[in-house]
Amino acid sequence: MYLVKDFYEEHGKYLELNLVMGHEGLNRVIKKPEVHRPGLSLSGYLKHFPTYRMLIFGRLEIEYLKELKLSVRIKRLRAILSLTTPAVIVARDFVPPKELKDICIEHNIPLFRTPMTTVGLLSKMFFLLNEHFAPTITVHGTLVEVFGMGVLIQGESSVGKSEAALGLLERGHRLISDDAVKIKKRGTGLIGSGPELTRHMMEIRGIGIINVANLHGAVCVRPDIEVDLVVKLEEWDDTHFYDRVGLQEKYCEFLGVSVPLHILPVKPGRDVILLIETIALNHRLKMLGYNSAKEFNIKLLETIQCRNQKKKVFP
């Protein structure tokens, strides 16, 4: 449950919000990541009016209210302000009309002022609210940046996820989070980050907890990155058939978004770090439209077709 009080404490300074009145209403619930300019609603058209949104009054709204008769002004404001309105914000540091103040006091609606422009305030609030309400999950794994790609390394415990990430850091790549990775859905993509408590930390068996930023420098860490692919480490199984061509694309799903999946068998003698780098580079080539496996398959089919034609000519 996200309260107006929480929003004010987290972003009040950033949005330069000044609470004018309505302290008792700070415990109102913000139900959805939406804000609304009530321009059309103030004219009397209330069909589909969203009563659950925070309202922003800009220059147009304030000047329009001033032109209305007192009785009409009160009627229109009462129509859009209710017990379910989370909060009202007046932009550009305009002085709220007395009638707006009175109704906010009557319904215990928090009333804020800010020197920000209306458009700037709207864009920032949309971003902040969407960021808070975005679906989020926490998964087990290690998230690293490899050649600009967000690579989530997963696998069973003690398979070597953290060691692989440590080796990638030695090669100039960057750590986002170890052990626990928070994945947030933003638009059609996934953004991965780490918990505040374990940020820049890694657990290496036999060594313990290490601070990567202190050991390798601040250039070896970053707070978040888009998750582009998943590499799942598993112990080599001689009875299991592993794809040697790469024509079959595998995917896993987080929050309804499909992410390319690569299963990487691990055994002594295999350079896991080099293989993860190769997977990342190959994935980048695929994004650019070049697929090595498909190109090889086309050449193979052309060779077979050519041989079959020769057999028909020279039986």
Residue 294 binned pLDDT confidence (cut-offs 50, 70, 90)? confident
CA distance 58 to 92: 7
Which residue in this structure is represented by tokens 């004018």? 20
- The catalytically annotated residue of 48, 244, 311, 312 is 244
Coil, strand or helix: which one is 176? strand
Which pLDDT tens digit goes with each residue over 81-96?
Answer: 988 899 999 999 999 9
- The catalytically annotated residue of 37, 53, 76, 161 is 161
Rounded to whole angstroms, what are the CA distances from 222 to 130, 145, 166, 215? 22, 9, 15, 14
Which CATH homologous superfamily contains domain 136-295?
Answer: P-loop containing nucleotide triphosphate hydrolases (3.40.50.300)
Q: Tell me phi and psi for residue 260, to 5 degrees.
A: -55, 135
Q: Which CATH architecture has domain 4-133?
A: 3-Layer(aba) Sandwich (3.40)
Give the best-scoring range by mean pLDDT among 193-207, 248-262, 301-315.
248-262
The residue that leads in pLDDT, 3 or 239, is: 3
Which pLDDT tens digit goes with each residue over 93-128?
Answer: 999 999 999 999 999 999 999 999 999 999 999 999
- The catalytically annotated residue of 5, 179, 185, 186 is 179
**Domain spans in the chain, listed from the N-terminal domain onward:** 4-133, 136-295
CA distance 36 to 105: 20
- Asked about 92 being catalytic, the answer comes back as no
How high is the pLDDT of residue 64? Answer: 94
The pTM (predicted TM-score) of the whole model is 0.78
pLDDT over 70 at 159, yes or no? yes
- Asked about 107 being catalytic, the answer comes back as no
pLDDT over 90 at 240, yes or no? no
| CB burial string 153-163: b at 16+ within 10 A, e below | bbbeeebbbbb
Under a CB-based contact definition with an 8 Å cutoff, are residues 248 and 294 in contact? no
CA distance 122 to 200: 33
- Asked about 244 being catalytic, the answer comes back as yes
- Asked about 140 being catalytic, the answer comes back as yes
Average pLDDT score over residue span 245-266: 88
CA distance 59 to 39: 10
- The catalytically annotated residue of 140, 171, 240, 299 is 140
Q: What residues are paired with 182 via a beta bridge? A: 138, 193
Rounded to whole angstroms, what are the CA distances from 164 to 48, 167, 198? 54, 5, 18
Which pLDDT tens digit goes with each residue over 257-271?
Answer: 999 999 999 888 889
Mean pLDDT, the chain, integer: 90
What angle is formed at CA 281 by the lines to CA 296 and CA 184, rounded to 5 degrees?
120
